[in-house]
Structure 1
Amino acid sequence: MSCVFCRIVAGTEPSQTIHEDEHAIAFLNLAQATKGHTLVVPRAHHRDIGEIPVETAAHVMRAAVEVSRRLAGALGAPGVNLWHASGKTAWQSVFHFHLHVVPRFEPTDLTPPWIEVEHPLESLKGLAEEIRAWR
């Protein structure tokens, strides 16, 4: 198995697992963005959001909700970020679908990945039409 997350699911790669159920497993990320940074992955291998079945994604999200509540309670985190990246251009580095659950302790413990620039609603009309038209 070349996928590190598949090896963790199989039990052949060590991890600090904090949640397991029939569909998903959650373990502490080796690269802790904040204390308790956890990855939630489906037990079945799916490369990214384009490949994961909706039902499986729903199971992963349910696990992420449970993990978020557990992290907030255990660590006293007043906030939590969920993060997902699909594709190399979106910074995905392990190509097994996963959600990052990142406990937040201070508004400044992470840097926002984008700068908020509000666009007038009317200027977004063409973009919305283009997206709705795609099938």
Structure 2
Amino acid sequence: MKNHGNIRPKESNRWIKIVNNCIFCKIVKKEIPATIVYEDEHTLAFMDIGPIVKGHVLVIPKTHYDPLTETPDEIVAQLHTVAKRIAQAQIDGLGADGVNIMQNNGAAAGQEVPHIHVHVIPRFTDDGHHWNWAAKKYDDFEEMAELAEKMLSSFHL
């Protein structure tokens, strides 16, 4: 598990550089400004400066973790508990008609900052943003079953 927030001497200089240059870690350390929406001992939520829709919030752990698959379950749970509360605040406070809650994991998935974070995006009927998720098709149910089996055989609790 990579916990880049509590770097030990045996960890590489590469990871130290990642944490020292992480924009989210700099926000946590108050080295750069952010508009904070929520903060507790382990979690920080702030306005995204490049929002998909106005009111877009990022929820991060105060300790540097990445990727999702190496982040402790309790941290992932805390991020989503806060995301749920932010979503309700967007509905109640901003009048959002719906909310997208997303976590992009890895560059291929669109992750730009290598510090686990959850996007909480208020949605309005007329906000003009549309996800372009073109649905793909499986050749047959057998192909689907084979892929499911590959995942299940690697599943860890």
> Residues 58-98 of structure 1, C-alpha deviation per residue, up to 9 Å, x if partnerless?
11111111111111111100100011111111111100000
State the distance in 2 between where 1:113 and 1:51 align: 29
Q: Which has the larger radius of gyration?
A: 2
State the distance in 2 between where 1:28 and 1:72 align: 16
Amino acid at match of 2:25: C
Q: Does 1:92 align with 2:111?
A: yes
CA RMSD across the alignment: 1.8
Q: Does 1:59 align with 2:78?
A: yes
Q: Does 1:131 align with 2:151?
A: yes
Unpaired stretches in structure 2, ≥5 consecutive residues: 1-19
Once the two structures are overlaid, the 10-residue window that deviates more, 31-40 or 47-56, is 47-56
Match of 1:3 in 2: 22
What is the TM-score normalised by the length of structure 1?
Answer: 0.91
Match of 2:12 in 1: none
State the distance in 1 between where 2:92 and 2:67 align: 29
Unpaired stretches in structure 1, ≥5 consecutive residues: none
Shift of 1:123: 4.5
State the distance in 2 between where 1:93 and 1:27 align: 16
State the distance in 2 between where 1:37 and 1:108 align: 12
- Report the number of matched residues: 135
Query: RCO (CA 8 Å, sep 6+): is it higher in 1 or 2?
Result: 1
Shift of 1:109: 2.8
Match of 1:30 in 2: 49
Select 1:111's aligned residue among 119, 123, 130: 130
Amino acid at match of 1:80: V
Amino acid at match of 2:64: H
Shift of 1:18: 0.5
Name the % identity: 34
Shift of 1:51: 2.0
